[in-house]
Amino acid sequence: MNAELEGYLDQLLSIRQSAPGLVAGLRSAAFNWKPAPARWSLAQCFRHLNETARNSLPVLETAIIDAHAHNLKGDGPFAYPLLERLFVWGMENRPPIPREGSKGRPAHARGLYRRRHDKMAYQDRLAELITAADGLDLRRTRHKSPAIPLFTYSLGTSFAATLAHERRHLWQARQVRTAPSFPA
């Protein structure tokens, strides 16, 4: 496997190891607690990550299948355009912005475990897709953005941005969990 993909798998492992501790031992009230009206709860962070994965993983899978069908092979290292590198940087470094679609009704305790299970399943699928991309040219394999179809970017950028997005929202969830007024 090429070094870039191995790096993505290492990042995903780190994410997988940090996420369970954020929800361990929580009840519904704590899972849905918000530090301020305009800030997200843990439930909203996890819901958003799950919704994003549900929409983006099929797009990545299709891009990988198409790249194999068109024999877009490459070993790397891959150099990505400046705008794509800035996109990944922005996914990691900009503060989370609350959006209407991520509000919604509180999740019950059962919802907490379902969201955690769904999150793990999506991460399993992402690991499978990263592995399936081995041998592909991660720069020339391109797809439309699932969020903004006017934009297209490379598969390598998609993996990097997905992982940056996960880290950012897990950081956001950690800020909720460690807030001084978080319900114990």
List pLDDT tens digits, range 57-111: 999 999 999 999 999 999 889 999 999 999 999 888 866 555 544 444 444 445 6
Tell me, what's the pLDDT at 100?
45
Domain boundaries, the chain: 3-177
**Confidence check: pLDDT of 138 > 80:** yes
pLDDT in tens, 24-47: 888 888 988 999 988 899 988 888
Q: Is the pTM of this model over 0.85?
A: yes
How many CB atoms within 10 Å of residue 180?
Answer: 5
DSSP letter at 102 equals G
Rounded to 5 degrees, φ, ψ at 18 are -90, -25
Which fold does the domain 3-177 belong to in CATH?
Four Helix Bundle (Hemerythrin (Met), subunit A) (1.20.120)
Compute the distance between CA of residue 130 and CA of residue 170 in angstroms, rounded to an integer.
20
